[in-house]
Amino acid sequence: MQAVTLNNGVEMPIVGFGVFQIPEDQTQAAVEAALEAGYRHLDTAASYGNEEAVGAAIAATGLPREDLFVTTKLWIQHAPTGSVEDETKRAFDSSLRRLGLDHLDLYLIHQPLGDYYSEWRAMQQLHREGRVRAIGVSNFHPDRLIDLIDHNEITPAVNQIETHPFHQRATDQELMRERGVQIESWGPFAEGRNNLFTNPTLSSIAEAHAKSVAQVVLRWLVQREVVVIPKSVRPDRMAENLDIFDFTLTDDQMSKIATLDTGASLFFDHRDPAMVSWLGGRRID
Ligand code: NDP
């Protein structure tokens, strides 16, 4: 599996398997099938409610721990009278316990909301203690990312953001490259929104390579050196989504896909006050 090298030297497989919105009672089977298909990089989050099932699948397959790259995410921590740093360490321990692991490969701040500077300080400490190989963020717009970098010791290794043909993030990626932050796409297929799977531009490129639209989208991201974590509950699609290393998109095809960019989210804006308030009020445990 092709890998990217993070800013601290850790190698991260460029294709992983995402488990958002897989119901808890289906997650173990899905992750076992994904590991069987050849995925070695898994992406979950405390807020997905399925870390235990991911851990059960890891245990059931018995793969050596060092062959796996496991990411989970810290939900927004609340400590009105206490310490957000302590709450972050407690949340990290809970995630590790649910996953049945003794260390993580990547721990991400899930949202750029709340007291994430305290969260980051705690994560830096967890990293120094060797309990997590790399730390990063998710859903950070450039302004917040740069501010976090400029006022802390460790630069996030990764920023996991919505990235797909309709929201391509080329400028954000360039800035992240300058600062040593690896871009990782969430929602590579935009969850099928905007009729992605039948888009005429993507379909004609897929036809030219005898590949599917899904494979063209993932190939386009990987050629841009974007880490991808497609989700599927279907083993045939899990295999299809891994089978993207035997063809190359031409410069002309890359340019055609570039024209699909709308420069806007198809989901929600992390700067929308109503969304900030809704996410910030959400408690997961
Ligand atoms: P995706 O863009 O990966 O789309 C998933 C959808 O595409 C599912 O409906 C799936 O259906 C379908 N699909 C998958 N493969 C194919 C295929 N080859 N052909 C046709 N349809 C296909 O959406 P996600 O939101 O799941 O994003 C991926 C991962 O990113 C998440 O699982 C999660 O790990 C992460 N994420 C992170 C967020 C964050 O805030 N940090 C936010 C959202 C996601 P089916 O399952 O039926 O095959």
- Give the torsion sign (CA, 96, 97, 99, 102): positive
285 pLDDT more than 80: no
pLDDT category at 111 given cuts 50, 70, 90 is: very high
190-235 pLDDT tens trace: 999 999 999 999 999 999 999 999 999 999 999 999 999 999 999 9
Residue 81's pLDDT is 85
CB atoms < 10 A from the CB of 28, how many?
20
Evaluate if residue 13 carries a pLDDT over 90: yes
Query: How many angstroms does the Cα of residue 19 sit away from the middle of ligand 1?
Result: 8
Residues 253-269: pLDDT tens digits? 999 999 999 999 999 88
Count of C-beta atoms within a 10 Å radius of residue 154: 18
* Residue among 186, 193, 217, 243 whose CB has most ligand 1 atoms within 8 A, to mutate: 186
Phi and psi at 73, nearest 5°, equal -130, 145
Asked if 39 is an active-site residue, the reply is no
d(CA 186, CA 18): 8
At residue 80 the predicted structure's pLDDT band, cuts being 50, 70 and 90, is: confident
- Return the ligand 1 atom nearest residue 188 CA: 2
- Ligand 1 close to Cβ of residue 139 (< 6 A): yes
207 CA from centroid of ligand 1 (Å): 22
Q: Which of 76, 163, 232, 241 maximizes ligand 1 atoms within 8 Å of its Cβ, making it the mutation to test the pocket?
A: 232
Does CATH number 3.20.20.100 belong to domain 3-278? Answer: yes
Q: Is 86:79 a contact under the CB 8 Å cutoff?
A: yes
* Residue showing tokens 């797909």: 164
pLDDT category at 284 given cuts 50, 70, 90 is confident
What share of the chain has pLDDT > 70, as a percent?
A: 100
Please tell me the distance between residue 209's alpha carbon and the centre of ligand 1 in angstroms.
23
The alpha carbon of 188 and the centre of ligand 1 are apart by a number of angstroms equal to 7
